[in-house]
Chain A
Amino acid sequence: GAVVSQHPSWVICKSGTSVKIECRSLDFQATTMFWYRQFPKQSLMLMATSNEGSKATYEQGVEKDKFLINHASLTLSTLTVTSAHPEDSSFYICSAQPGTGRVDEQYFGPGTRLTVT
């Protein structure tokens, strides 16, 4: 149980284009999903917290107009990196928190490696 998937697992895009990353909880409903970014040899950096049906809460320093988050259902959240630039190249990881049962735990997706050329 508690499986989270992400798609795509890796993506290469040109500077100035937009990229959408999907995060799905496969066997549970997630009232809350988190989006993290991780640069090489660094720890996780929380970008934003999203609750189903409401606007995401962004961490300080994260541009909400650049990183668009949509949490349209209890099993799906999307992160769109708009007008991507090489400095946006990173490992993007989502996590999901169950709405029932072990509500205090987070389960991570496998991550999406974004390379902007």
Chain B
Amino acid sequence: QKEVEQNSGPLSVPEGAIASLNCTYSDRVSQSFFWYRQYSGKSPELIMSIYSNGDKEDGRFTAQLNKASQYVSLLIRDSQPSDSATYLCAVRENYGQNFVFGPGTRLSVLP
């Protein structure tokens, strides 16, 4: 059974610090990886997608992928209280259509 694991948190960081969110996945052939942010009571919104090993930067967000270690992470620089949310890691099956979501990590940025 394909699994995506995340530390449920809460992860607390002070405002202005770097928040590091981690995700591991079990299906070695997975090719597509996504980070979603979900505020309480709202639906998820896509932050970043990453497909190749290495880093991908978008503003304050950097996604890192290591397929050999089956590990994907999200770094949030200069964390703001508005970044406080649950972050969901999603992995797409190589030959199918479905996303497999992790349980999410709750991030709390303290002012």
Binding site for A on B (CB under 8 A): 32, 34, 36, 42-46, 49, 51, 88, 90, 92, 97-99, 101-104
Q: In the bound complex, do residue B101 and residue A93 qualify as a contact, i.e. CB atoms below 8 Å apart? A: no
The distance from the CB of A45 to the nearest CB of chain B, in whole angstroms, is: 9
The distance from the CB of A65 to the nearest CB of chain B, in whole angstroms, is: 22
The distance from the CB of A3 to the nearest CB of chain B, in whole angstroms, is: 11
Q: In the bound complex, do residue B104 and residue A43 qualify as a contact, i.e. CB atoms below 8 Å apart? A: yes
Q: Knowing A32-B97, A43-B102, A44-B101 are in contact, say whether A110-B88 is a contact too (CB < 8 A).
A: no
Number of A-B contacts defined by CB within 8 Å = 42
The distance from the CB of A79 to the nearest CB of chain B, in whole angstroms, is: 14
The distance from the CB of B49 to the nearest CB of chain A, in whole angstroms, is: 6
Q: In the bound complex, do residue B34 and residue A97 qualify as a contact, i.e. CB atoms below 8 Å apart? A: no
The distance from the CB of B99 to the nearest CB of chain A, in whole angstroms, is: 6
Contact of A105 among B46, B88, B104 (CB under 8 A): B46
The distance from the CB of B68 to the nearest CB of chain A, in whole angstroms, is: 21
CA of A34 to CA of B93, assembled, Å = 14
Among residues of A, the one whose C-beta sits closest to the C-beta of B36 is A108
Task: Please list 26 pairs of residues, one from A and one from B, whose beta carbons are closer than 8 Å in the complex, sorted by A's number.
Answer: A32-B97, A34-B98, A43-B102, A43-B103, A43-B104, A44-B44, A46-B98, A46-B99, A49-B97, A49-B98, A93-B43, A97-B97, A104-B32, A104-B49, A104-B51, A105-B49, A106-B34, A106-B46, A106-B90, A106-B99, A108-B36, A108-B44, A108-B45, A108-B46, A109-B43, A110-B42
